[in-house]
Amino acid sequence: MAKPKVGYSRRSLLKAGGAAVAATAFPAPMLWAQDTKNIVLRQFGTGVSNLNDVANKVKEDLGFTLEMTALDSDSVTQRAATQPDSFDIADIEYWICKKVWPTGNLQAMDTSKIANYDKIVGIFRSGKLTPESVIAQGTAPHTVGFVDGPGGTSFADSETGWMTLIPTIYNADTLGIRPDLIGRPIESWTELLNPEFKGKASILDISSIGIMDMAMVCEAMGEVAYADKGNMTREEIDKTIAIFTEAKKAGQFRAFWKTFDESVNLMASGEVVIQSMWSPAITAVKSRGIECVYQPLKEGYRSWGGGIGLSSSLSGMELDAAYEYINWYLSGWVGGYLMRQGYYSAVPETSKEFMTENEWGYWFEGKEATDVITSPTGDKLAAAGDVRDGGSFYERMGHVACWNAVMDENQYMVRKWNEFIAA
Amino acid sequence: MTRNRHLLGWLEAAPLAVILLGFLIAPIVMIVIVSFWGATEFSIYPDFQFENYAFLFSSPVTYKVFGATFKYAFITWAFTLSIGFTVAYFLAFHIRSQTVQIALFLVCTIPFWTSNIIRMISWIPFLGRNGIANQTLISWGVIDEPLEWLLYSDFSVILAFVHLYTLFMVVPIFNTMMRIDKSLLEAARDNGASGLQTLLHVILPLTKPGIMIGTIFVVTLVMGDFITVRFMSGSQRANVGRLISNDIGLLQYPSASATAVVLLCTVLIMIAILLRFVNIRKEL
């Protein structure tokens, strides 16, 4: 691949007396500080990890500017697929990657340039959390994580040294509940359609994720048996949607939500007492002083993972800067920041250094908090003695039933979803 | 000399023609073209196929959603017309002083100082299960249980529409009413017409162009809306605008275009019918 000329080569810079360049901890090329100041990398992604604090820290630690744009999942997919020149770094989910990779708008990354590659959690490499783990249904990250080479267009089924996305953030999702308004234990996904919560339930109106939550419910009810919830047949889709359409007509749902804020408001205002939810939304409700639990359910979690992909138009100094950014991302600070919100970092062991022992124990090991747990922005999330919903990392990520996915019958599913919304 | 006049005329019309061509005709032509294209999961490709229209017309969802859109448009129209006409009538015929008239008219526009999304969303905490409306009604003893249908229902959608668009009815009706020759009203009274008769046989026919302009505003705004329906129904109801926005979100541009073309034609036909009733140009 021919790189456009960027003024002068790195070699000539070194000759000119860039001794400081040698002081790098990473195998990735270090850049000359004066130049990096002018580099601007444009990143876009869903709200979860597009945080201004990260951009500020990048400026402070690495010197270059990271411009963040936060969009919803649909818009992210749309932009990654149709506007390759509008971004340098795409912070997307693995199922979006499956959709977007064939457009050729992203370039594969050389794992030999990633310092902490060997420490990345097994889920993103072999697919197994521990050697004994069973791989869950759906678009498991490792199935779309690798391609054969720099120009590869089809996914490889094992580690090849060329990664499509560098994993950054992931979590296991379940239903959020208001224990103060429900007043009894909730143990199964079936409760979402329990008539007891008529007019007080909600589900998210993002078809690709919503259908998975529906499938978890229908499977738990014993109404539909799926071969693979992440890749349903038309018949399975019809049955699933029919069950939910009936529930909708019976007035089971108060509303559907599409954005993070909507889910927080529905829960905090008491309009809804049980709904699909994302973990930081639970955190946001809790930080308003309202009881809210991310309820582990016996059927398992619906999991998702996100990662950073590089635009295929990225080259030269900007590409080097992007690698530097990725290495920095995995080096711990961001991981610690995200883990203190309830997500997991791709390289948990580096994040440990950026968390207190109490935080690490609470968020990762599932131990009782020994002191107050606060969010990165300082809101109180848990008191001493509290235990994280669902327990430790291995307890939670080990019970993933399904990964967010994009199906072969996606277009058909979307049409049925539209019918469901209009019903 | 005449040739110069012709040239001048063309030149004078040119800026508007260029703007309309570039910003109105060209995009519509583009939409029509794309509506015949094909789409895959992540891309669209040029083609000439009727699949998008075939699917649209064969899907029961389309008819249901168009039905809902007409329903919203009609109910909103009825409410905005009756409220708008009353307000305009009051301003035009009951307020004698022109200063007060202008002052009150400006008062009507105050809500427009904020974005219409904010005005719409501010209804949500008001109408919610634990919102001000329900709490007040319970404390008055009118109801025992919170009313569920206040929010995330057709009621809240139409309430928001009426709130947002009534002014579009008030302004044109007020404008035509102000131009009614007051001596006509005196003549009616002198000939023994009652207040109601004057209203029905003199004022109403003379304000028809204003009503028609207001109707066009309201109907086109409601039929093209998607965000009000999404927010106020909690995503539980659908209208044509939401159908289009869902398609766009899922990169199905050709099918979104086809729906847009059908919607555009529907609205144009409706306006054409409306214009058969009243000659607006005569009054402008």
Give the 3-state secondary structure of residue A67: strand
Half-sphere exposure (Cβ direction) of B131: Cα atoms closer than 13 Å: 19
**Residue with token string 């783990």:** A133
Q: Is B24 among the domain residues?
A: no
Helices (DSSP H) in A158-206: which residue ranges? 179-182
| pLDDT band, residue A354 (cuts 50/70/90) | very high
Q: Sort out which chain A residues have CB atoms less than 8 A from B236's CB and list them.
A: 248, 253, 255-256, 421
Give the 3-state secondary structure of residue A146: strand
Q: Sort out which chain A residues have CB atoms less than 8 A from B238's CB and list them.
A: 418, 421-422
User: From the CA of B129, how many Å to the nearest CA of chain A?
Assistant: 6
What pLDDT, on the 0 to 100 scale, is given for residue A72? 76
Q: Is B250 among the domain residues?
A: yes
Q: Is B27 among the domain residues?
A: no
Q: Sort out which chain B residues have CB atoms less than 8 A from A82's CB and list them.
A: 43, 251
Return the amino acid letter for A196. Answer: E
Alpha-carbon dihedral sign for residues A404, A407, A413, A418: positive
Return the amino acid letter for B150. Answer: L
Chain A contact for B186, CB < 8 A?
no
Chain A contact for B45, CB < 8 A?
no
What pLDDT, on the 0 to 100 scale, is given for residue A28? 46
Give the 3-state secondary structure of residue A94: helix
Which range (A77-81, A213-217, A337-341, B46-50) has the least confidence?
A77-81
ipTM of the complex: 0.79
**CB-based contact A412:A234 (threshold 8 Å):** yes
The number of domains in chain B is 1
CATH number at residue B142: 1.10.3720.10
Second CATH level (architecture) for the domain A34-171+304-352: 3-Layer(aba) Sandwich (3.40)
Rounded to an integer, the average pLDDT of B8-27 is 92
Q: Sort out which chain B residues have CB atoms less than 8 A from A254's CB and list them.
A: 152, 234
User: From the CA of B40, how many Å to the nearest CA of chain A?
Assistant: 9
How far from each other are the two terminal CA atoms of chain B, in whole angstroms?
32
Q: Which residues contact A4 (CB under 8 A, 6 or more apart)?
A: A315, A316
Measure the CA–CA gap between B236 and B181, rounded to whole angstroms. 49
Measure the CA–CA gap between B253 and A92, rounded to whole angstroms. 22
- Which residue segment(s) compose the domain that B128 sits in? 61-283
Chain A contact for B64, CB < 8 A?
yes
Q: Is B29 among the domain residues?
A: no
Q: Is B33 among the domain residues?
A: no
Rounded to an integer, the average pLDDT of A299-327 is 91
Tens digit of pLDDT for each residue in A70-83? 887 777 888 888 88
Q: Which backbone phi and psi does A187 adopt, to 5 degrees?
A: -125, -15
Q: Cβ–Cβ contacts within 10 Å for residue A38, how many?
A: 10
Give the 3-state secondary structure of residue A345: strand
Chain A contact for B132, CB < 8 A?
no
Q: Is B70 among the domain residues?
A: yes
User: From the CA of A245, how many Å to the nearest CA of chain B?
Assistant: 11
| pLDDT band, residue A35 (cuts 50/70/90) | low
Cβ-based burial of A204 (10 A; exposed 0-12, middle 13-18, buried ≥19): buried
Please give the share of chain A, as a percent, with pLDDT higher than 70: 91
Quick one: which of A61, A70, A64 has its CA closest to A91? A70
- Assess whether pLDDT exceeds 50 at residue B214: yes
Rounded to an integer, the average pLDDT of A256-266 is 89
Tens digit of pLDDT for each residue in A75-125? 788 888 888 888 999 999 998 888 889 888 999 999 999 999 999 998 998
**Residue with token string 């109907």:** B219
Measure the CA–CA gap between B244 and B36, rounded to whole angstroms. 15
Q: Is B1 among the domain residues?
A: no
**CB-based contact A51:A99 (threshold 8 Å):** no
Rounded to an integer, the average pLDDT of B100-111 is 88
Work out the mean pLDDT of chain A and round it to a whole number.
86
Q: Which backbone phi and psi does A220 adopt, to 5 degrees?
A: -65, -35
- Assess whether pLDDT exceeds 90 at residue B160: yes
Measure the CA–CA gap between B212 and B195, rounded to whole angstroms. 23
Residue in B43, B60, B238 closest to A421 by CB: B238
Q: Is B19 among the domain residues?
A: no
How far from each other are the two terminal CA atoms of chain A, in whole angstroms?
52
Measure the CA–CA gap between B209 and A403, rounded to whole angstroms. 59
Q: Cβ–Cβ contacts within 10 Å for residue A24, how many?
A: 14
| Cβ–Cβ below 8 Å for B238 and A77 | no
Q: The domain A175-299+392-422 is classified under which CATH number: 1.10.1740.10, 3.30.365.10, 3.40.190.10, 3.40.50.620?
A: 3.40.190.10
From-to residues of CATH 3.40.190.10 in chain A: 34-171+304-352, 175-299+392-422
Tens digit of pLDDT for each residue in A276-296? 998 888 888 988 889 999 999
